[in-house]
Amino acid sequence: MDKKRVKIWPVKRIIPHLLFWLFYVLFFGLFYGKYGHDYRLHLIETSCMLPFVMVATYTTIYVILPFYLKTRKPVPSVFMAVVLLVLITLGERIFIRYLNGLPINTETLFGISSLYLMLETNFMVALGFTVKFLKKWFEQQQEKHEMEKKHLQSELNVLKAQLNPHFLFNTMNNLYALSIEKSSKTSEGIAKISDLLRSVLYECNDSEMALYKEVKLIENYIDLEKMRYGDQLNVSFTVTGSVEDAKIAPMMLFTFVENCFKHGSSNFETPFITIKLDVNENEIFFESENSKPPYQKQVMERNIGGIGLANVKKRLEILYPGNYELICGDKNCCYKVSLRIKRMMRRKAI
């Protein structure tokens, strides 16, 4: 496979150059031949001038252009280009006069014919310069895009590295609470935590996962929390629409659910958590609402910017730029989160 690429690559690079110079010979040979009524003569003359034009073009795009891009000094770059063009034009004029057996003097070197030669050479240099400049611009854009992808991937890896220990810390707290209460459900809780950790370790490593797996993760977590709080906490989780063919970034919704239990399950009268998920062809809509006593308002405001929510907000901005809407509302008696994510609009996995 590599050997074939080595053989094909030079050919792919040479062919555009050959076509470029064939265009030069035919265009100017036929152009001057039409007015001079001698196509053969002017095709030969254009072919003889070809080496000079090639030197001017390649020196400009492989020497002067890189010099300018590296130093960003326009004056020296323009000066070198002008000197090169003058020297090439003089060389062309001397060579043509020599081939035709005509005398070479100052008047013939700097006459109107030299101006035509300069314009002709300058046209090809400008054309080659434009092609090379555009090629370099596209290469820089591609390189910039690749660097952006690598940066985003690194940032997502850091965010996930923060998320998993945070999740583990909270689940261990649940297990500790069950053990302190000497609950008969401790062993069942350990099994639930094991399932949760297995999901986090093996199913949440890709850039996106099936939405039904995220739903299953949330359901297991809710079951685990119900073991801890029992009838003290009123929890509702409803799902409408098809979650089988939808995908989402791992633990994107789970973080909001975890936050509901963190702030909505405190020991006060009639705590509640209501979670809704609606999926249709156009979007994924998630809404959560948890109770909050008045005295907890300041605490909530301080904790909103913690690792969990700060993490998910950052991930939303990276993975769904311009394709999501997140509204977090802090009311007198509850805290509400609404999230809309457009389907089939997410950028490709990075």
Domain of residue 203, CATH code: 3.30.565.10
Per-residue confidence (pLDDT) for residue 93, from 0 to 100: 82
Report yes or no on 318 lying in a domain. Answer: yes
Report yes or no on 154 lying in a domain. Answer: no
Residue closest to 306 by CA, chosen among 263, 266, 267: 263
For residue 57, what are the domain limits?
Answer: 2-143
Same structural domain, 337 and 188: yes
Same structural domain, 189 and 126: no
Same structural domain, 60 and 129: yes
- Does the pTM surpass 0.75? The reply is no
Contact indicator for 268, 232 with CB cutoff of 8 Å: no
Same structural domain, 101 and 192: no
Q: What are phi and psi of 292, to 5 degrees?
A: -160, 120
Report yes or no on 347 lying in a domain. Answer: no
How far apart are alpha carbons 214 and 237 in whole angstroms? 13
Report yes or no on 304 lying in a domain. Answer: yes
Same structural domain, 37 and 97: yes
Residue closest to 339 by CA, chosen among 300, 269, 286: 286
Same structural domain, 132 and 230: no
Report yes or no on 178 lying in a domain. Answer: no
Report yes or no on 93 lying in a domain. Answer: yes
Residue closest to 50 by CA, chosen among 129, 120, 108: 120
Beta bridge partners of 65: none
Per-residue confidence (pLDDT) for residue 326, from 0 to 100: 93
Task: State which of 143, 163, 196 marks the end of a domain.
Answer: 143
Same structural domain, 113 and 187: no
Per-residue pLDDT of 303-312, as tens digits, reads 444 556 777 7
Which residues of the chain fall short of a pLDDT of 70?
1-9, 33-37, 106-109, 111-112, 149, 152-153, 155-171, 174-175, 177-178, 181-186, 199-205, 264-269, 293-308, 344-350
DSSP 61: I
Report yes or no on 349 lying in a domain. Answer: no
Same structural domain, 133 and 204: no
Residue closest to 33 by CA, chosen among 21, 47, 52, 20: 47
Report yes or no on 315 lying in a domain. Answer: yes
Per-residue confidence (pLDDT) for residue 217, from 0 to 100: 85
Same structural domain, 134 and 194: no
Same structural domain, 81 and 207: no
How many Å from the N-terminal Cα to the C-terminal Cα in the chain? 26
Same structural domain, 133 and 266: no
The amino acid present at 124, given as its one-letter code, is M
Residue closest to 27 by CA, chosen among 37, 38, 39: 39
| Residue 187: partners with Cβ closer than 8 Å, 6 or more residues away | none
Same structural domain, 139 and 28: yes
Per-residue confidence (pLDDT) for residue 303, from 0 to 100: 43
Per-residue confidence (pLDDT) for residue 179, from 0 to 100: 72
Number of domains observed in the structure of the chain: 2
